[in-house]
Amino acid sequence: MALLEITKVTKDFGGLEALHMVSLQINAGEIISLIGPNGAGKTTLFNCITGTMPPNTGSIKFQGIELVGLQPHEVAQQGITRTFQHIRLFNRMTVQDNVMVGNDYKGRTGIFSALFRPPRVAREETMSRQKCREVLSLFGERLLPRLAQNADMLSYANRRRLEIARALVSEPRLILLDEPTAGMNPYETQGIVELIRLIRERGHTVMVIEHKMKVVMTVSDRIIVLDHGEKIAEGTPDQIAANTDVIEAYMGGRQRAQAE
Amino acid sequence: MLSWFNSHYTGHAETKLIMDVQILFEQFINGITQGSVYALLALGFTMIFGTLRMVTFAHGEVYMIGAYVGFEIIRLLHPSFFLALAVALAATALLGIIIEILAFHFLRDTPHATSLLVTIGISILLVNLAQLIWGPETQALPYSLLDKIDYGEIEIGGVYISFLQMSVLGVTVLLMAMLYILIHKTKLGMVIRATAQDYEAAYAMGVGVNGIFMVAFAIGSMLGGVAGVLVGVYYNLFYPTMGGLYGLKAFSASVVGGLTSLPGAVVAGLLIGVIETFSVEFGASNFRHIFSFLFMILILLFRSGGLFGGRELIHARGD
Amino acid sequence: MARTLRRILANLPYIAIIALIALIPLFVSNLYYIQVLIFIGIYIILALSLNLLNGYVGLLSIGHAAFYGIGAYASAKLVMEVGVPFPLAMLGSGMIAGVFGYLIAKPTLRLSGIYMTLATLGFNMIFFLVLQNWMSFTNGPLGIMDIPQPSIFGYMIESRIQYYYLIFFLVLLTIGSMHRLITCRFGRALVGIRENELAAEAMGVHTTRYKIQAFVLAAFYAGIAGSYYAHFVKYISPDSFYIYESFILLAMLAFGGQGNLIGPVVGAVILIIIPEVFRFLQEYRMLVYGSVLIVMMLVRRQGLLGGKNYSLRLPWFDDQQGAVYTRGDKFLPTE
């Protein structure tokens, strides 16, 4: 059984059709890239999966469970987390707290526990912090020394990394990355490429929206191409690179990919 | 219901029926009069929200200031209804511009909540200033002056409609007509509509958006000020907190009508006025104020766009 | 042993302040000053309760006086008509206010931004109108008189000084309990919702449930303050719970800052003291509050102490964040 099965999903915004009969499958352990020109519907597809914008028709099944109709936090609790195209961090919280919120739904401390502090609370807190440090260590020395800094004081690249860390801490089965290398220089971008591989090694499945062809070609197992809300191609990097429809959609994308 | 009527009126069966209809009609006129004031206030508020997409809590107080300005004009200068209206119009327009500058102009880039709190502060300030200037007690125009304004009544089918009532209705209709012409038939109106729909696009097209906001605020405040004079003279009651309840009812009417719909504000205002008046007839007296808030909450819960809007809420700036 | 000593040293400034405040009645003999301090205490609790909603969750509730009033009336009626002993009545009023908080939160929180705010205003108005008009239950504009003094397990609270210690105790409980709530999963989730609700939801945070919980808590604390108020002034009427009371709380949060536990306290203290110190301002209290709102929003939106997450422990002993990390620690992946 595929990990994620998207079947004939259509999403329109009162006349503007963002997605039209999109179907695809993702298997456990894969790294899938979702590419397409601007406005193709990539982020909309992410939003449909996570329940932020439920699709008009179609079904999205995750490990056999229907996601359409679930609230976003319920989708997350099923084991799907994401990052955002325009970074959405908790700006006035520390790096550590940002990541710990990612772990919130795993906690059991409610209001009464918070007030009376049975020993369970301290244990849960310590374990959660341990998990945070573990996840942040994936980024080397970049975030760990800054645990007590507020998120809005971090550099741009670190903010992107923090968002990924926050999405990882709850050990999701599937993590959706929306343009994780946007605005990064080639060196930082390469770091993210290695990070994606590391994430897969840890047992997560990854779906990435990306514009940088070099990233897409090197890191993906499979690539799915959207254009104007429809899936126009799917295949391995080599297959996609040779696909004329894709090249046309990008109008010279092949040359751009070679130049990168 | 019928037995209620029976208990109130003895007499021949036919005359009783005619009198029942007369009572209904009279109350309907009362309700429409009251409702038209609500409608004016709600129109002003909708004007402001429609253009700026922001809520002002000071609207009721603008209404109150308009009433007091009218009061002073009639008392000190000349007992002319229309002079009072004209001066109140100008004064509240100016006040509206001041509020726009304080609460919105400088705070264009801040969250909505910031401007909201400033308008709350302005509202508190205006009430207390009025208390300082005119005292907290309720004022009234002496009957000698009032008689010069309300100089008679006409009779339609046994129901008496006072000149004052007709003036209120007349002024309201006139203002609504003028507003309609302004918004839909003039160039300024078109610019306002454009700004209301998308102020960034309007700005890009060279519209002086800041000025348009001030104009919209001035117009909205003028409507409120006129409503103030109308109510003040109609009931002959002037007190500093008169804007409180009325202002909140204006919100409610505006929300019920659909926060950016001008016709919606009118219909909602009239509806609330009529229902309130009839509720007094059926014994609700002090509870009548609840209706407007109840409607607002019902609309918010079930049909957020209001009567004339869609199911979707119109989003305020910054939401 | 060393750790307990460190803990005590770390909290020494706070212990000192608490002791000082506790000993005030020894130095201040003027009962009127004591009364002012008591009102400061009441408003500290109120401001902190609203701070949960407006400061931590990031909502804008402008009708909070309703819960204050519910607590006051509930407590008065519980003690006078049902014969409930005061400590239970106070707790009960808090819970009744909390229940109303739940009832109002459920439908209201579905609305976004300004509509939610307008709804809170609407409920405050409706509550006030009900208070004024339901003569048989609330005695209407006449209010409830002769509310008995608090009696705690037989010990009567009669003198101002006794009232002072009672409110002092309640304030300490409030700040202490809120600190506990904020410095764990609950508080983190609330601030996450405030900073970016969409992201919090995407991470699995049940935002609606947290917001409702915050609402109920805020109502609860306000209800407790209301109960104290009723048994302190011994006479309550609808006028004390009109929307202007809500606006006073807004002014306190606007002035002192919200989003931490110190700003609201500062706001309450200063905005109560100023009309007392500057006697001529007494009559113009509301003018002052209105001006504060306008000026603060134009000049410093976050209030005096807003915008910072002041930990209630001193920074160099702060073991809350826990992670003292130095380069080369063992959990780095080997490179």
Residue range A175-233, pLDDT digits in tens: 999 999 999 999 999 999 999 999 999 999 999 999 898 999 999 999 999 988 899 99
pLDDT tens, position by position, B185-226 = 998 898 888 888 888 888 888 888 889 999 999 999 999 999
Residues of chain B with Cβ-Cβ distance to C62 below 8 Å are 120
Pick the closest to residue B225 from B51, B37, B10 (CA basis). B37
Query: Using an 8 Å Cβ cutoff, are C189 and C205 in contact?
Result: yes
- Residue B107 is nearest to which of C60, C121, C297, comparing CB atoms? C297
- Contact of B313 with chain C, judged by CB distance below 8 Å, is answered with yes
Between strands A4-13 and A57-62, the pairing is antiparallel
Distance between CA C207 and CA C201 in Å, rounded?
6
Residues of chain C with Cβ-Cβ distance to B117 below 8 Å are 250, 254, 293, 297
Look at B114 and C301 and tell me if their CB atoms are within 8 Å: yes
Non-local CB neighbours of B288 within 8 Å, separated by 6+ positions: B276, B277, B279, B280
The structural domains of chain B, with segments of one domain joined by +, span 24-242
- Residue B296 is nearest to which of C62, C122, C133, comparing CB atoms? C122
Distance between CA A136 and CA B237 in Å, rounded?
68
Nearest CA-CA distance, residue C287 and chain B, Å: 5
Distance between CA B318 and CA C183 in Å, rounded?
29
Alpha carbon separation from B48 to B56, B222, B254, C121, C191 (Å, rounded): 8, 11, 11, 19, 33
According to the per-residue pLDDT averaged within each range, which of A162-171, B110-119, B149-158 is highest?
A: A162-171
List the beta strands (DSSP E) in chain B.
153-156, 159-162
Look at C180 and A170 and tell me if their CB atoms are within 8 Å: no
Listed in sequence order, the DSSP H helices in chain A are 42-50, 72-78, 95-102, 111-116, 119-136, 156-168, 186-201, 213-219, 237-242, 244-250, 253-259
Q: What is the overall mean pLDDT for chain A?
A: 90
Distance between CA B213 and CA B106 in Å, rounded?
12
Nearest residue of chain C to residue B245 (CA atoms)? C125
Look at C185 and A114 and tell me if their CB atoms are within 8 Å: yes
Looking at residue C148, what DSSP letter applies? Answer: P
Look at B121 and C294 and tell me if their CB atoms are within 8 Å: yes
Nearest CA-CA distance, residue A142 and chain C, Å: 11
- Residue A109 is nearest to which of C184, C217, C327, comparing CB atoms? C184
Q: Which helix (H) or strand (E) holds A178?
A: strand A174-178
**What are the b/e assignments for B92-118, b being 16+ CB within 10 Å?**
bbebbbebbebbbeebeeeebbbbbbb
Predicted local confidence at residue A260, as pLDDT: 52
3-state secondary structure of A70: coil
Q: Which chains touch A (3 or more CB pairs under 8 A)?
A: C
Q: Is the pLDDT of residue A254 over 60?
A: no
CA A170 to chain centre: 13
Nearest CA-CA distance, residue C67 and chain A, Å: 20
Pick the closest to residue C63 from C116, C1, C10 (CA basis). C116
Alpha carbon separation from B281 to B270, B276, C74, C86, C95 (Å, rounded): 17, 9, 33, 44, 39
With pLDDT > 90 as the criterion, what percentage of chain A qualifies? 69
- Residue B300 is nearest to which of C62, C111, C113, comparing CB atoms? C111
Pick the closest to residue B40 from B23, B62, B15 (CA basis). B62
- Residue B125 is nearest to which of C107, C129, C291, comparing CB atoms? C291
Structural domains of chain A ordered from first start: 70-195 (3.40.50.300), 225-260 (no CATH)
Q: Which of B55, B120, B315 is most worth mutating to test chain C (most C CB atoms within 10 A of its CB)?
A: B120
Find the mean pLDDT for residues B146-164.
73
**What are the b/e assignments for C292-331, b being 16+ CB within 10 Å?**
bbbebbbeebebbbbeeeeebbeeeeeeeebbebeeeeee
Looking at residue C84, what DSSP letter applies? Answer: -
Token pair of A72 as six digits: 């976003």
pLDDT band at residue B95 under the 50/70/90 scheme: very high
Look at B120 and C62 and tell me if their CB atoms are within 8 Å: yes
Look at C202 and A71 and tell me if their CB atoms are within 8 Å: no
- Contact of A149 with chain C, judged by CB distance below 8 Å, is answered with no
What is the ipTM score, two decimals? 0.89
Token pair of B242 as six digits: 């008169």
Look at B313 and C125 and tell me if their CB atoms are within 8 Å: no
Residues of chain B with Cβ-Cβ distance to C137 below 8 Å are none
Predicted local confidence at residue B14, as pLDDT: 61
Distance between CA A90 and CA C23 in Å, rounded?
42
- Contact of A82 with chain C, judged by CB distance below 8 Å, is answered with yes
Q: Is the pLDDT of residue B11 over 70?
A: no
Distance between CA A227 and CA A19 in Å, rounded?
9
Sign of CA dihedral B130, B135, B136, B138: negative
Pick the closest to residue C274 from C36, C34, C62, C48 (CA basis). C36
Look at C184 and A121 and tell me if their CB atoms are within 8 Å: yes
Q: What count of residues does chain A have?
A: 260
pLDDT tens, position by position, B253-273 = 888 888 878 888 899 999 998
- Residue C203 is nearest to which of A111, A147, A166, comparing CB atoms? A166
Look at C203 and A52 and tell me if their CB atoms are within 8 Å: no
Query: Using an 8 Å Cβ cutoff, are C258 and C264 in contact?
Result: yes
> Cβ-count burial of C44 within 10 angstroms (0-12 exposed, 13-18 middle, 19+ buried)?
buried
Residues of chain B with Cβ-Cβ distance to C286 below 8 Å are 124, 127-128
- In chain A, % helix, strand, coil (3-state, to 5) comes to 45, 25, 30
Pick the closest to residue A144 from C322, C320, C11 (CA basis). C322
pLDDT tens, position by position, A153-164 = 999 999 999 999
Distance between CA A12 and CA A33 in Å, rounded?
23
Looking at residue B136, what DSSP letter applies? Answer: S
Predicted local confidence at residue C192, as pLDDT: 94
Predicted local confidence at residue A253, as pLDDT: 46
Residues of chain C with Cβ-Cβ distance to B248 below 8 Å are 121-122, 125
Query: Using an 8 Å Cβ cutoff, are A222 and A32 in contact?
Result: yes
- Class in CATH terms, C2-308: mainly alpha
One-letter amino acid identity for B239?
Answer: Y
Phi, psi of C184, deg, nearest 5: -150, -165
Nearest CA-CA distance, residue B156 and chain C, Å: 37
Distance between CA C240 and CA C244 in Å, rounded?
9
- Residue C133 is nearest to which of B122, B286, B296, comparing CB atoms? B286
Sign of CA dihedral B248, B250, B252, B255: negative
* DSSP assignment of C150-184: PEETTEE--SHHHHHHHHHHHHHHHHHHHHHHHTS
- Contact of B112 with chain C, judged by CB distance below 8 Å, is answered with yes
- pTM recorded for the entire structure: 0.87
Work out how many CB contacts closer than 8 A connect A with C.
Answer: 133
Pick the closest to residue B44 from B88, B108, B109 (CA basis). B88
A19: left (phi > 0), else alpha (psi -120 to 50), else beta?
beta
Pick the closest to residue A131 from A163, A165, A161 (CA basis). A165
HSE-up of residue C44 (Cα within 13 Å, Cβ side): 24
Nearest residue of chain B to residue C104 (CA atoms)? B297
Q: Is the pLDDT of residue B250 over 90?
A: no
Q: Which of C186, C188, C208, C324 is most worth mutating to test chain A (most A CB atoms within 10 A of its CB)?
A: C188
* A91, A92, A97, A100 alpha-carbon torsion, rounded to 10°: -40
Query: Using an 8 Å Cβ cutoff, are B101 and B215 in contact?
Result: no
Non-local CB neighbours of A215 within 8 Å, separated by 6+ positions: A33, A181, A189, A192, A193, A208
- What is the maximal distance between C-alpha atoms in chain B? 72
Look at C203 and A81 and tell me if their CB atoms are within 8 Å: yes
**What are the b/e assignments for C152-165, b being 16+ CB within 10 Å?**
eeeeebeebbebbe
- Contact of A90 with chain C, judged by CB distance below 8 Å, is answered with yes
Radius of gyration from C-alpha coordinates of chain B: 20
Q: Which chains touch B (3 or more CB pairs under 8 A)?
A: C
Look at C201 and A71 and tell me if their CB atoms are within 8 Å: yes
Predicted local confidence at residue B1, as pLDDT: 46
pLDDT tens for chain C, residues 1 to 335? 677 777 777 778 888 888 888 888 888 888 888 999 999 999 999 999 999 999 999 999 999 999 999 999 999 999 999 999 999 999 999 999 999 999 999 988 887 778 888 889 888 988 998 898 888 888 889 999 989 999 888 888 888 899 999 999 999 999 999 999 998 899 999 999 999 999 999 999 999 999 999 999 999 999 999 999 999 999 999 999 999 999 999 999 999 999 999 999 999 999 999 888 877 777 788 888 999 999 999 998 888 888 776 655 444 444 444 444 444 444 433 33
Higher per-residue pLDDT: B117 or C327: B117
Distance between CA C54 and CA C46 in Å, rounded?
12
